[in-house]
Amino acid sequence: MAHHKAFSKQRWSTSLKAELAQLSQLQQQNADIDPLRKHIKKRYLPLIEPHVSGLHEDSQILELGCGPSCISQFIKQGKKTFLDPLLDDFRRAWPGSLPKGTFITEMAENINAPDAFYDCIICLRTISHVQNPELVLHEVERLLKHNGTFLVSVELWPSAFAKLHYFTANFFPQRILRSRLYCYTKRGIENTLQRHFNIQSSHCIPDMKIFNLKQEYFYVCTPLKDA
């Protein structure tokens, strides 16, 4: 699939409002964030741990789109940086719930950090929600050390659904551009990732729902210069 044409910042801001509405519902249903964190930990930590076992206490870990659950807090090694444009909203919804670490309440397209600074960058279910996925992946490429690891998960859709999404997004954006701006197929995301990284492995995360069009895949990537 060709490069996606990035949506405007206005469209991205509109999608954030939809996410905030979902956040408000979640906060009303769960005054305690711990159940969500336990679910996220159970789902993702077994996939992440084998690829961070070589890190040490001074290793730098960046989590993009950390949400209120902040999965990288459960990694024993390393210094954690959490990035999410809604961090201040998470603090208001669940006061005192965020873990220790460095927090960046910004977009992921332009991160104030030196080149080759992070040993591991984690990005779970976030690429489909950013304003410009290509710029985000360029930033990850810039920030990742030459021997670093990029761990990313993406919800993927059948080709027919993805085409319908993009058609509707172009002609009826008010109907489709809610919380998810982009709709990737397996081929599409792998072509996108391979423009920036080597894909070392992929894993389909099982879904408990009997019928579900989308599938979530977890990718382990390394810098292209390691090829």
| Domains identified in the chain, total number | 1
Does 73 map to a domain? Answer: yes
Distance between CA atoms of residues 148 and 198, nearest Å: 11
Query: Residue 197's domain spans which residues?
Result: 9-226
Does 3 map to a domain? Answer: no
pLDDT for res 175: 56
pLDDT band of 50, cuts 50, 70, 90: very high
In terms of Cα–Cα distance, which of 114, 126, 134, 121 is closest to 188? 134
Q: What is the per-residue pLDDT across 176-224, written as a single tens digit (0 to 9) for each?
A: 555 567 889 999 999 999 999 999 999 999 886 767 788 999 999 999 9
What CATH number is given to the structural domain containing 52? 3.40.50.150
- Residue 66, Cβ neighbours under 10 Å: how many? 28
pLDDT for res 9: 76
Task: Give mean pLDDT, residues 120-130.
Answer: 95
**Percentage helix, strand, coil, to 5, in the chain?**
40, 25, 35
